[in-house]
């Protein structure tokens, strides 16, 4: 069994959404419903798309600049992000993500599937323009963080989205830090890029999982989790948080993973990816979960087939 922080958040947000995303969706399955679930899994709201564009440029163009020890050029990064946005928007508007046999790998970084295009919702030109403006703003904010940029420049071994894994409670725990590198004293440094407006989200657990993964993945035997420096960088809000890391907090993070793995085992114990019983799962508690769920058509159809008319009405009420 595999576990990641994103797996945990999906499971907690909605068990049915988790099942469609993690257990049912499969681009190679012969079952058309499983292939359909895979397509719906790719759909993004504009805000999510905006964040993915920033992450893509940071993990490619900007990473190349760091590695080559070039100073940050926010205008260059913004242009690269905006050109990528134009290509991806055109790809999605043409609904090319539904072309038979076309994989994400074959489409390359042009691949994009926007929720609004799938459900024939209009996207105001002003909304697209705002995405382009926010892309430029994010890189301008990054360029303004001189002390933080000096920390990045002084490091070595920069790697973006490197998968780290270790075993705990019988599960394979996986983590993929946005940016991982080492200071001159070999102290690991993790950067988690955020592009959002939320004032309430707490990502400390996610970053603590990264610290545990760095220590236990086996790549750096001499490294200890306690020495890791954890930065959460919200580029849209121009805010940087350095999360406190103590032995007690790491113990709490390990306990959190253990409890989540137990919960996950109880959930998937109802079946496998080949025969998961959706009828045993409840609909989400929060209305916004249903309102923004990309699996809405499949979920409603399964509820109707299971004779759960009251829950269908509940979900539709949240949607409309």
pLDDT at 307: 87
CB atoms within 10 A of CB 84: 20
CB atoms within 10 A of CB 33: 15
pLDDT at 210: 98
Strands 171-175 and 179-182: unpaired
Confidence class of residue 270 from pLDDT cuts 50, 70 and 90? very low
Angle of helix 204-216 relative to helix 247-268, nearest 10 degrees, comes to 90
Task: Say how far apart CA 247 and CA 107 lie, in whole Å.
Answer: 45
Q: Are 318 and 294 in contact (CB under 8 A)?
A: no
Q: Are 207 and 246 in contact (CB under 8 A)?
A: no
pLDDT at 313: 77
pLDDT at 320: 54
* Mean of all residue pLDDT scores within the chain: 92
pLDDT in tens, 222-266: 999 999 999 999 999 999 999 999 999 999 999 999 999 999 988
Q: Which of 225, 144, 231 is nearest to 179 (CA)?
A: 231
Domain boundaries, the chain: 151-245
Partners of residue 243 on adjacent β-strands: 230
Tell whether the model's pLDDT for residue 124 goes beyond 60.
Answer: yes
Partners of residue 232 on adjacent β-strands: 192, 241
Q: Taking the alpha carbons of 290, 294, 297, 299 in that order, is the dihedral positive or negative? A: negative
Q: Per the structure block, which two tokens stand in for 46?
A: 């504009």
**Residue that is written with structure tokens 């759960």 in the block:** 308
Task: Say how far apart CA 217 and CA 232 lie, in whole Å.
Answer: 22
Q: Are 259 and 268 in contact (CB under 8 A)?
A: no
Angle of helix 32-41 relative to helix 296-305, nearest 10 degrees, comes to 140
Angle of helix 74-93 relative to helix 125-144, nearest 10 degrees, comes to 150
Task: Say how far apart CA 221 and CA 84 lie, in whole Å.
Answer: 39
Q: Are 22 and 2 in contact (CB under 8 A)?
A: no
Q: Are 180 and 189 in contact (CB under 8 A)?
A: yes
Q: Which of 77, 97, 90, 83 is nearest to 141 (CA)?
A: 77
Decide if domain 151-245 falls under CATH 3.90.320.10: yes
pLDDT in tens, 183-216: 999 999 999 999 987 755 678 999 999 999 999 9
| Cα 46–Cα 283–Cα 272 angle in degrees, nearest 5 | 95
pLDDT in tens, 140-174: 999 999 999 999 999 999 999 999 999 999 999 99
């Amino acid at each position: 069994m595999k576990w990641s922080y994103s797996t945990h958040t999906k499971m907690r947000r909605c068990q049915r959404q988790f099942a469609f995303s993690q257990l049912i969706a499969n681009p190679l399955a012969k079952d058309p419903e499983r292939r359909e679930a895979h397509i719906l899994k790719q759909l993004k709201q504009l805000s999510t798309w905006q964040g993915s564009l920033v992450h893509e440029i940071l993990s490619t163009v900007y990473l190349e600049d760091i590695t080559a020890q070039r100073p940050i050029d926010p205008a260059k990064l913004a242009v690269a992000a905006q050109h990528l946005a134009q290509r991806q928007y055109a790809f999605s508007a043409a609904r090319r993500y539904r072309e038979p046999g076309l994989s994400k790998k074959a489409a390359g970084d042009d691949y994009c599937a926007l929720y609004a295009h799938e459900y024939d919702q209009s996207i105001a030109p002003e909304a697209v323009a705002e995405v382009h403006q926010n892309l430029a703003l994010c890189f301008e904010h990054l360029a303004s963080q001189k002390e933080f940029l000096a920390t990045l420049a002084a490091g070595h071994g920069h790697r973006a989205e490197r998968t780290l894994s270790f075993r705990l409670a019988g599960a394979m725990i996986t983590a993929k830090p946005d940016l991982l590198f080492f200071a001159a004293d070999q102290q690991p440094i993790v950067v988690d890029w955020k592009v959002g407006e939320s004032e309430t989200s707490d990502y400390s657990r996610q970053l603590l999982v990264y610290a545990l993964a760095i220590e236990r993945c086996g790549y750096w035997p001499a490294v200890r989790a306690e020495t890791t420096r954890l930065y959460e960088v919200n580029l849209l809000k121009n805010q940087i948080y350095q999360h406190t890391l103590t032995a007690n907090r790491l113990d709490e993070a390990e306990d959190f993973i253990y409890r989540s793995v137990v919960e996950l085992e109880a959930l998937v114990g109802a079946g496998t990816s080949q025969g998961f019983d959706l009828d045993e799962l409840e609909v989400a508690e929060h209305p916004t979960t249903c309102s923004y769920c990309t699996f809405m058509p499949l979920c409603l159809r399964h509820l109707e087939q299971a004779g759960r008319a009251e829950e269908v009405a509940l979900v539709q009420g949240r949607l409309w």
